[in-house]
Amino acid sequence: MPDASLKPQVYKDPRPKEYFDHYHARVREGPAGPVYELVRAVVVPYVLVLFRARALGTENVPNGPVILAPNHASFVDHFFAGAFIRRRIHFMAKSQLFQPGIAQWIFSHGGCFPVRRGQHDEDAFITAFKLLDRDAAIVMYPEGGRSRSGKIAEQAKPGIGRLALESGAPIVPIAILGSNRVRNWKRLKFPRVTVQFGEPFKFKAVKDPSREQQQEVADYVLERIRELHGELVRHGHKGALRAARRAMRWRPPPPSPAPAPRSPSRAS
């Protein structure tokens, strides 16, 4: 039986930037409030029980400013990325989610901020930089929109490259396996989901990175996600959990530092 169908993606939001100013202002003012914890209390049991979701490598998420970079195949990826981390995460979400209604209120009071797809949205970057300046954690999808096939996109969007280079914040690549079938919940089919957090890395800060530098860094981030996702696919959900348990029992000595690559250079 084929998967449940997806709604067509909307790639451009015609609403003016002024419509979203108060959402950015709210997030810039301070951390997410009690709404975040309330949503978390509802969502975590949901993903653990229905999707049997498990996470590997959560210890790789550092304190302080950090960019969390997952692959994107489902509207629930926000929750899979944040459910296993005891930090309050801010999400850069497509502006189409900010429609009148209760969901809009939950998003804006729960730490999400909009990015207008199909636009050069400088406000989204201003908000993201302000969050990183106060040591927050941000989720940003290198692929931009959702994958329709469950496969990793061939090329990343350059935005995450800009955010990484101008902020100098560490990046944690995240692979989510199985979320592309979450839409089958309408048929009462709940796929198993595994979330793998990779080791963090960062780049030396660049004040005004070129478009080519931004794209190079973005593609590097996406390649790290692709490697993690490929490992999950090869091992399978249960195999990945077994491999993680074996790795916890035996940890090899740390490798010698590798030489720094050429520009844009990656800091140790």
Distances (CA, A) of 19 to 14, 32, 114, 115, 159: 10, 21, 11, 12, 22
Has residue 229 been placed in a domain? yes
- Range of weakest confidence among 84-93, 163-172, 211-220: 84-93
Using the predicted structure, report yes or no on whether residue 7 has a pLDDT greater than 80: no
The token pair at 96 is: 């189409």
Has residue 254 been placed in a domain? no
- Residue 222 CA to residue 55 CA, distance in Å, equals 19
Has residue 144 been placed in a domain? yes
Burial profile 130-156: b = 16 or more Cβ within 10 angstroms, e = fewer: ebbeeebbbbbbbbbebbeebebbeeb
Using the predicted structure, report yes or no on whether residue 188 has a pLDDT greater than 90: no
Beta strand 202-203 with 266-267 is: antiparallel
- Residue 86 CA to residue 170 CA, distance in Å, equals 18
- Residue 220 CA to residue 99 CA, distance in Å, equals 34
Domain range for 141 is: 17-243
Has residue 112 been placed in a domain? yes
pLDDT of residue 102: 87
Asked if 127 and 77 touch (Cβ cutoff 8 Å), the reply is no
Angle in degrees, 0-180, between the axes of helices 102-109 and 21-29, rounded to the nearest 10: 40
Has residue 253 been placed in a domain? no
Give the tens place of pLDDT for each residue, 126-156: 999 999 999 999 999 999 878 767 788 889 9
Has residue 58 been placed in a domain? yes
The token pair at 115 is: 């990015």
Has residue 249 been placed in a domain? no
Most confident of 31-35, 84-88, 202-206: 202-206
- Residue 164 CA to residue 160 CA, distance in Å, equals 6
**pTM exceeds 0.75, yes or no:** yes
pLDDT of residue 57: 95
Asked if 207 and 101 touch (Cβ cutoff 8 Å), the reply is no
Has residue 256 been placed in a domain? no
pLDDT of residue 104: 84
Helices (H), the chain: 21-29, 34-49, 77-82, 102-109, 122-133, 159-167, 211-249
Q: What's the total number of domains in the chain?
A: 1
Burial profile 72-90: b = 16 or more Cβ within 10 angstroms, e = fewer: bbbbbbbbbbbbbbeebbb
The token pair at 38 is: 């309330």
Give the tens place of pLDDT for each residue, 35-91: 889 988 988 898 889 889 999 999 999 999 999 999 998 888 888 999 999 889 999
